[in-house]
Amino acid sequence: MNVVLSETDAMRRALGLALQGPRSGVNPQVGCVILSPAGELLAEGWHHGAGTPHAEIEALTRLAEQGGSAEGATAVVTLEPCNHHGRTGPCSLALIEAGIARVVYAVADPGVRSAGGGERMREAGVRVEHGLEAPAVEEAIRPWLTSVRLGRPFVTVKWASSLDGRAAAADGSSRWITGPEARADVHLRRSEADVIAVGTGTVLADDPALTARAATGDDTTGSSTPAGTGTDAGTHTDTPDTLYPHQPAPVVIGERPVPAGSRLHAHPLPLRHFPTHDLHAVLDELYRDEVRSVFVEGGPRLASAFVAAGLADEVLVYLAPTLIGGPRLAVTDLGITRIDDQRRLDIHHLDRLGQDLRIIARLRDEATPGSAESSAPSKE
């Protein structure tokens, strides 16, 4: 029996498909579901990564392989079909040529070159609506949308601390503040980022590997706060079976040189060192090199600098139920002298990982252009 879907259910299905694609990289996660005029599921697809067919193309290809036709059908897509020639052709044109009669998408494409697919299809006689399930899609692909809208990578600033805000004991030791569940989560999140960034102080103090490693059951596989400033120093040697398939490229920010014997030189990807304190310049260059997400992991000075500069799109904190005291704070000077100037955040997620808490928060005054699309479909 054929599966019949409402357009809302089709959009939710398309979003689930989209999230099967890679979270990292220059391309967004996109899903597409094609429905017959009666609402029957004809075909579906999602984007598998740079250089592969876009979601709409994959869905159309699968439909053709099944001997079906898109004539008169409706395409339900999480993101506005693109309107430019990149590694692949414009999806808006492919939908038009396939005979699609109606397109429903959730969120407009914010790209300067890729936007305009909705208008192109409307001019060709396709009925176009947007906004269906927009809040859910916005949240799901928020890093990519934010990056393209702002013209710089999406920045996650991460730290781990005790309940009293310490990232290490007075002697600099911090192995381990958080438990294995939190440490495993850090590595998973590393594997979803394009770049992992630390300061030169962290490199000199910790000699981190900055790889994303799957949990193997022992504490040498990774950490959220090993010795020094809160990255992953230790004696662990990466092997192919412990590394996640996708690795974040290592980036070091700061004027001091990276020692020739640093473990960063053994990272699977080339090390990039920016001998500067100009974070805007660093992000600009990374964005030009198609970096869309940066995971800032160490140390307190670099994390604080990103927050103070207003460049932290998301703050990721692992809070351990322990007290340490002393001077080793997880966050240093933010340039705040009056209580009225404090940086207030909204907590978007609060989870328990073992004995630790994971907090995901965003600056309350954050304003991402174009993020307030209506959740109700609108005709173009």
**8 Å CB contact between 192 and 23:** yes
Q: Single out the catalytic residue among 7, 44, 56, 133.
A: 56
Does one domain contain both 47 and 159? no
Residue 380 known to be catalytic: no
- The mean per-residue pLDDT over the stretch 289-296 comes to 96
Does one domain contain both 115 and 163? no
Is 101 within a domain? yes
pTM for the model: 0.86
Does one domain contain both 167 and 289? yes
pLDDT of 211? 94
Does one domain contain both 189 and 316? yes
pLDDT of 169? 77
Does one domain contain both 159 and 190? yes
Is 310 within a domain? yes
Does one domain contain both 160 and 114? no
Is 315 within a domain? yes
Is 281 within a domain? yes
* Whether the predicted pLDDT of 229 surpasses 80: no
* Whether the predicted pLDDT of 111 surpasses 70: yes
Q: How far apart, in Å, are the Cα atoms of 135 and each of 51, 142, 332, 372?
A: 28, 10, 34, 8
pLDDT of 319? 95
Does one domain contain both 157 and 250? yes
State how many domains the chain has. 2
Is 371 within a domain? no
pLDDT in tens, 64-109: 999 999 999 999 999 999 987 666 679 999 999 999 999 999 999 9
Is 2 within a domain? no
Q: Does 112 or 287 have the greater pLDDT score? A: 287
Q: What is the CATH number of the domain that holds 11?
A: 3.40.140.10
> Which residue segment(s) compose the domain that 126 sits in?
7-140
Does one domain contain both 229 and 254? yes
Question: What is the pLDDT of the chain when averaged over all its residues?
Answer: 87
- The mean per-residue pLDDT over the stretch 1-15 comes to 92
Is 146 within a domain? no
Does one domain contain both 117 and 172? no
DSSP codes joined into one string, 262-316: -GGGGSSS--EEE--S-HHHHHHHHHHTT--EEEEEE-HHHHHHHHHTT--SEEE
Does one domain contain both 93 and 177? no
**89, 110, 140 - which closes a domain:** 140
Does one domain contain both 134 and 186? no
* Whether the predicted pLDDT of 378 surpasses 80: no
Q: Which residues contact 185 (CB under 8 A, 6 or more apart)?
A: 318, 353, 358
Which of 16-20, 84-88, 201-205, 341-345 is predicted least confidently?
84-88
At 252, list the tokens. 């070091």
- The mean per-residue pLDDT over the stretch 35-63 comes to 94
Is 375 within a domain? no
Does one domain contain both 262 and 291? yes
Q: What is the CATH number of the domain that holds 257?
A: 3.40.430.10
